[in-house]
Amino acid sequence: MVKKIIIACTLVCMTTMVSSVSLAKTIDKGQRGHHVSKVQTMLKHQGFLHDSVDGIYGHNTEQAVRKFQKSKGLAVDGRVGPATMNALEKMETRYGGHGTALSHDGVPNKYSRVLTMQASAYSAQDPGNGNYTATGSRLKKGIVSVDPKLIPLGTRLYIEGYGYAVADDVGGAIKGHRIDLAYDSRSEALQFGRQTVKVYVL
């Protein structure tokens, strides 16, 4: 009888531990702490979160997560589970993992120059646009169109409110201090509209 009770208690404890581990892997609205700050920092680096990093998983952070999930074809639930975290870390490595130190606010500590530019947005879904850039890359978020006389093609950039990008396209109307930011959907491009942004040349 005692043996059965011990086995039962052991099973309950193991179930509780597994449940706790499972919950710990999901970062959700209402949570606070360094794990939330990490998520916010990655979202900010990649242009999905415009608020400051405060370690509080509030409404704006949830909406930024939903936007990120939608852009990556993930289940859109506003929660950071293993799949969303893996996707965030993968993109962080791609855009922020090239030896560029970042400040707490997500602005590069090291850059060659900073430009104030007039930004517009576009996508492969816009009428008349194709799926590829002038250099043959697939048109997607993280690609920007520039004037090569000002910013050479292939230059890595950090754009305020957008994130890391590569100058990989050109356009007839993109001259001087004009820049066109690629998005994955036309609705996102239209939502961006036209803005004045700071562009950090890395």
- Tell me the pLDDT of the chain (202 aa) as tens digits: 544 444 444 444 444 433 333 334 799 999 998 888 889 878 877 778 877 778 899 999 999 999 999 888 999 999 999 999 998 888 765 554 444 555 555 667 778 899 999 999 999 988 888 888 888 888 888 899 999 999 998 898 989 888 888 898 998 899 999 999 999 899 999 999 999 999 999 8
Domains and CATH numbers, the chain: 27-96 (1.10.101.10), 113-201 (2.40.40.10)
Give the residues across from 32 on adjacent strands.
56
Q: For 25-119, where are the alpha helices, taking DSSP H only?
A: 34-45, 59-71, 82-96
Helix, strand or coil for residue 76?
Answer: coil
State both tokens at 149.
Answer: 């006389």
Position 98 scores a pLDDT of: 44
